A and B are shown apart, each in its own frame.
Chain A
């Protein structure tokens, strides 16, 4: 772009250049920091003329925790490398590097203490950057780990000390000419040198802004580029600028963090009305033998005690390994003890002691789910969650995309009520140490097994009704989609849609219709109702089915069309390339009205600035 603050012919090294070189391996790890700093330096190097020996004063105050927190190994010291001489070119600046040899080692070498914090202060003159020094080998280490970059943050000051991550306090005065604009790291503020040495070579004002970026900033940018993690974009905060909502709301981002659903506090199996047994296959055969026994005495007794009436349900659930702390107990149905065991003995079964079971299905990270494009297509992505014994359920894309922060996760757990077979799925989003319940669904995971004809018919009718209802949902969805397409194609432009279309020209109308027809594909249901018995024949783990639209972007699209911006700009000199304006404020008193109209029209229809 045309940048008035960068003089013609000045070499511009952008952050992209720096990152590209780091990414492509053109610089070694140990050079990363140097190169990154040099990348910034390069912009001012061309005009970086010192009329007298510049004086740099640096005070570094590093407070270091125990060595493990920094990754420091025994024998390493953290020191400063300083560059000697009055050098105005980047290459020369880079090539002359000396380890500081201070008469007082305490001033420039900090040895990490073992497990105890230590702090040192340096007062050093000269240009500088940070390096590591291997004390054992008495040389600079050429393999600087990343942690050292995060530690080594160089900056300047305005007279006051500046704190970087509680690690380094810096104060530096630099000799330079006035006002340089730097290429900022995307998402960060631009840097400006407001003043350096004045015409009479006296220091008149120093405000370097952020003269250097820390390695963290580079790392953030790398993350952005690699779509791994996203550095926060710092938008202007005012609600009235182009980034705000424009209203007078409080714009509060406060939110509560929720606990996981804890289930009911009442254990129904402790109340004495119902009992839940976990019989084995052999136990079941014994129970059946008792129920259908031809023993006369037993049948007389059963006629009076009606054990059938007291069997509430009989089925199976996906609970293998989850029923703990059971006790062995003789089967008593109502007030009738079962005597179907060997030689007419009592039937001893595992008795379940708690009807509530919680199962955590683990988490999926934001990286696995969210932000594929980092654009509107992500919001048009459909996230369909399969939940065992429930079926497919749609989750709002916004709920998923919201978690794409540094620690964003989606967690799913379920509660099962053994008494009824009810299963409740809770879907949580975890982001920035906040948990939110974004959805809850219920189903039934008890697969019933009939023990009588009436029992079977009841069960069958329930399953049939559920199946019909589920299929009807699918039919309804297909019908709605077809209806939507039909409305569009039939030219049903009533109401607001009609107004919009009437504003558009004929070609625009047709394009919009075409676009709707292209995108309004029929939506198909993936499954009917899969509760109970049918659910046990389907997948038993939750999973996402993610359907992403694919955008068709022609080559050079941005060059010929631009992309929607919606941004305010005070001077168009701050932007380059193809630009369309929505509203313009022209300050051209000499132009005629006809010219003003022509200029406005030119800017609104598109101009290559």
Chain B
């Protein structure tokens, strides 16, 4: 298998990660054990320097993996990977839909309608927002008042 190694710095939650320059590309890399496309184990020779690599791409599968810390045995390096499903399936993810519970975006483009709709433009109370323990208090007067001066009233029976 052809495996290309990278050093990535993006947050693991980023869908489309910036790969930067490939550190190393190895051909004819063998898999160890059963074929597991989600968490493959690669056998590499001892003379390979992968100290800076934290990410790799298996060309035949078209999948990206996080490299878990190296382990060695007498035969050489054993590199284990864990699939980065975000990066591997980014195109398909972008073509998928659903209900958004939270988002950073303030507008949402609906391709099916060809329209852009406003996102939630206000905060909704949830446990991720806190209120300060004080309040802003102001007074707004109505423009008119009852008369400041009083009138004496005498109510009596009679015609």
Contacts and interface: CB of A to CB of B under 8 A. Distances in A.
Given A362-B143, A577-B103, A582 B119 contact: no
A567 B124 contact: no
B152 A186 contact: no
Given A360-B144, A562-B103, A315 B153 contact: yes
A567 B117 contact: yes
8 contacts: A419-B155, A540-B146, A541-B144, A550-B132, A572-B95, A576-B104, A580-B100, A584-B97
Contacts of B109: 1, 3, 190, 573-575
Contacts of A361: 142-145
B150 interface: yes
A320 B149 contact: yes
Interface in B79-94: 83, 85-86, 88-89, 92-94
Interface string A598-609: 110011111111
> What is the size category of the interface that chain B forms with chain A?
35 or more
Contact of B139 (A360, A419, A543, A576): A543
Given A541-B144, A608-B14, A591 B102 contact: no
Given A544-B139, A569-B97, 4 more contacts: A274-B158, A580-B103, A603-B98, A607-B13
A313 B155 CA distance: 5
Interface of A: 1-4, 181, 184, 186-187, 189-190, 192, 233, 235-236, 242, 272-281, 284, 287, 310-323, 331-335, 349, 352, 359-364, 368-369, 373-377, 380, 388, 412, 414, 418-419, 421, 445-447, 508, 511-512, 515, 518-519, 521, 536, 540-553, 557-559, 561-588, 591-592, 594-595, 598-599, 602-609
B86 to A, nearest CB: 5
A376 to B, nearest CB: 5
B47 interface: no
B48 interface: no
Contacts of A518: 130-131, 133
Contacts of B95: 571-573, 587
B126 A277 contact: no
Contact of B145 (A311, A540, A580): A540
Contacts of A594: 38
Contact of A552 (B96, B130, B150): B130
B103 A276 contact: no
B155 A570 contact: no
Contact of B122 (A274, A310, A376): A376
B148 to A, nearest CB: 6
B11 to A, nearest CB: 6
B129 interface: yes
Contacts of A2: 94
B153 A278 contact: yes
Given A276-B155, A320-B150, A569-B110, A515 B127 contact: yes
Contacts of A577: 103-105
Given A274-B157, A552-B131, A567-B120, A320 B114 contact: no
Given A359-B146, A361-B142, A573 B111 contact: yes
A578 B154 contact: no
A131 B132 CA distance: 51
Contacts of B52: none
A272 B150 contact: no
A553 B124 CA distance: 12
A545 to B, nearest CB: 5
Contact of A511 (B14, B83, B121, B127): B127
Contacts of B98: 568-569, 572, 581-585, 603
B89 A312 contact: no
B157 A572 contact: no
